[in-house]
Amino acid sequence: MQENGIKQVEAMVENALVKMHDHDITGALEELLQVVEMEPENVRIINLIASCYLILGEFDRARACWEVVLRIDEGNVDASNRLEACAAPAFQSWLKRYHSVLARMDSRNYKLAAELLRQLMEENDGFVSLYELLGLCYLAMSEVEMATKVWRKGLELDRSNKALLTYLENRKNSKTIVREQITAGNLEVAATTEKGGFRHWGLVIGAAGVLFLALLIPTSHYISEKQGNALKPPVIQEKKASSNQQEGKEDGVSNVLATAGGLNFSSNAGGVDSLQKNEENNFEQEGLYYNKGFAAYLNADWEGASANLKKVVNMQSGSYINREALYYLARTQYLSGNLDEATKFYLRYLEEFPTSNYYDDSLYYLGCIYCRNGDDQEARKVFTELKELEPDSGYLTTDLYKEVMK
């Protein structure tokens, strides 16, 4: 390759690394798939492509890339370690459960699929596909608010992910219709109206077959077919990489993985096998109580929801399930009219999980409680914080918000 070509490759790889550090995995992958056509035997580039596929949750493609690297350079340490981690019992167990989710979704058992996805996230939440699939499960169950939050969380791993952005855009376009149905100050009716409006949207999507189409298309299907085929094994000859390709590649890949999602994917990461026995039992109990509590919440069984969710909250694990339980416990207390308890749990949620999915929701409902208790000053304080946090929040369009803030 001529000097200009080498410089172009180096510039494109550097640009891809910047994108990976900036959590733009889709953009980085598109860049790398172009550059690998210029240097099809550059193992550093192929390792980076594998890292992108891994974060996206396309495990078969990632593994295929590492296998290609070893055909070119059988002593490549990074690819060997990654393949060893793939073969580890802990990850194979995790992957088996991941594939079982797809079977549950195919049979339309979305509730069980969602439960399995939450368990998988508890062990490792660094894969974009988990958020995509969990959001689709919530959508199919008419929990569109939850689907939206999950997809937004997925964008924190890959901010330009085409699938997630498309789902959110569809949801945004539907929201303007629903807002017109929200009544002044009646949060229960507003919540029911919102779910009803989006339920219709979800059924339209289901009737059109979009939901199942999305399940069958890989996360990176928006990348062109030509680029997607760039790493098929027959294209790359089995040959050793040059020394200048080898230099510094391990540090580059490991640094990217450390910053682009914080993946726990090394052979000694341990997964389930690394947990102590009591931790395994606690996790199982936490999941069991949460599932019971959430099911009760969906059925408006406030007593059953409160009893089970409190058990999860009292475990104080700080886990994904623990966060979910605390929010739904606060919501349960609110809907059952126990405003003092609701205030206590909303405040606790805001304190313990300031960067989590329901921070804006908690602020809004806390403001509503203050308003119902006649404390307009505190309500305005909370609503002001909400506006600063989410200036485009749909909550700012409600009549209750406008009345308090006028």
Burial of 89 (0-12, 13-18, 19+ CB in 10 A): exposed
pLDDT of residue 393: 74
Q: What's the topology of domain 3-89+248-259?
A: 1.25.40
How is residue 223 written in tokens?
């990348």
**Rounded-to-integer distance, Cα 122 and Cα 319, Å:** 7
Smallest CA-to-CA distance from 66 within 77, 75, 79 is with: 79
Which H or E run includes 363? Answer: helix 359-372
Q: What's the topology of domain 275-405?
A: 1.25.40
pLDDT of residue 246: 39
Burial of 299 (0-12, 13-18, 19+ CB in 10 A): exposed
CATH superfamily, with its number, for domain 93-216: Tetratricopeptide repeat domain (1.25.40.10)
pLDDT of residue 173: 57
- Segments of the chain assigned to CATH 1.25.40.10: 3-89+248-259, 93-216, 275-405
Long-range contacts of 116-124 (CB under 8 A, 24+ apart): 118/287, 118/320, 118/321, 118/324, 119/287, 120/94, 121/320, 122/283, 122/287, 122/319, 122/320, 122/321, 123/94, 123/264, 123/271, 123/272, 124/94, 124/263, 124/264, 124/265, 124/271
pLDDT of residue 299: 83
pLDDT of residue 256: 35
pLDDT of residue 357: 65
Task: Give the number of C-alpha atoms closer than 13 A to the C-alpha of residue 285, restricted to the C-beta side.
Answer: 14
pTM: 0.50
Residues in the chain predicted with pLDDT less than 50, given as ranges, are 175-277, 279-280
**Rounded-to-integer distance, Cα 203 and Cα 220, Å:** 26
pLDDT of residue 4: 67
